[in-house]
Amino acid sequence: MIKKFIYLLTLSLLLISSTSVLAQSLGFTFALGGASVKMNDMKYLQEHILDTYPVEGKITSSFPPFTSASISVFKQLYDHIRIGGAYSYSTTGGKSSYADYSGNISTEINATSHRLGAYISYLVSGGNRLDLLLKGSLDANYTSLSIQSSYNIYSYQSGINNYYRSISPAITVGTELMYQFNKFSLGIEAGYLVDLAGDLKNRDSGEALLDPNDFERTLSSDWTGWYVQIKGMIPLKF
């Protein structure tokens, strides 16, 4: 608990420091792309759920690379250094199912990551138009996860939805290659996110999502993975 508090306090201070120096050269960025995720525990849970099916179902998707987007505001602190605050969003999921003439059974896991954090970037090389930057960020990662199981057999149907959440710190390192137009820049950002995996708890009851084969272990979300995004940057000069 104290660790979480210190962590959130540090993040808040970083965010405040990055926005309180709004003065001359501000800007904002937006980015959209895809991200791969580990989600080992969720893949494991998916396998377990599939094993409980009375028929031989199939995993039709298992946390594939999916949408990742972010927006940020930044301050050009020095010629080579920017600091800023950013919100990032990623989503992925998995599904197992079975269907025949008599009905169907399916389980869908949807995971969404909301990350809020502070970042610093360093201009490694800048030409007339082309900038290469290195970037590092520290985020608080809030994961929202739903597990929806349903079956439909002839005229009978039933289902159950469970919602979980987790909070974890995440660190990102990446690089940006931006091409400057007159009033904005466009480019590409790629990097690697390390998520320090947060334990999943039921959103309503607060109960941990336990490993079905080992009740001593709590399953966690893990967004660790690569990401690639197309990025736009608009500087605002006051």
Partner 1 sequence: MGKYIIVIISVLLFSGLPACFYSDRELFEVEPIPGDPPLFSLTTNLDTLRNPPVNDSLEVSYEVEISGGELYYLYADVASITIYESDSSSGSFWINASLADSPGVDSLHMEFYYSSNSNSLADKVGYEALVEYLSFAIDFNLEIKK
* Of 121, 97, 217, the residue nearest 172 (C-alpha): 121
In the list 110, 144, 149, 150, the residue contacting partner 1 (rule: CB under 8 A) is: 110
Min dist CB 175 to partner 1, Å, is 21
Check residue 200 and report its DSSP letter. P
Which segment (100-108, 157-165, 191-199, 204-212) binds partner 1 by CB under 8 A?
100-108
Which residue type occupies 235? P
Name every residue whose Cβ is closer than 8 Å to that of residue 161 and which is 6 or more positions away in sequence: 146, 147, 148, 149
Q: Name which of 7 and 184 has its Cβ closer to partner 1.
A: 184
Beta bridge partners of 178: 131, 187
In the list 27, 84, 85, 93, the residue contacting partner 1 (rule: CB under 8 A) is: 93
**x/- site string to partner 1, residues 51 to 90, per CB under 8 A?**
---xxxxx-xx----xx-x-------------------x-
**x/- site string to partner 1, residues 145 to 184, per CB under 8 A?**
------x-xx-x------------------------xxxx
Phi first, then psi: what are they for 160, rounded to 5°? -145, 140
The C-alpha angle with vertex 50 and arms to 43 and 100, in degrees rounded to 5, equals 130
Q: Name which of 110 and 218 has its Cβ closer to partner 1.
A: 110
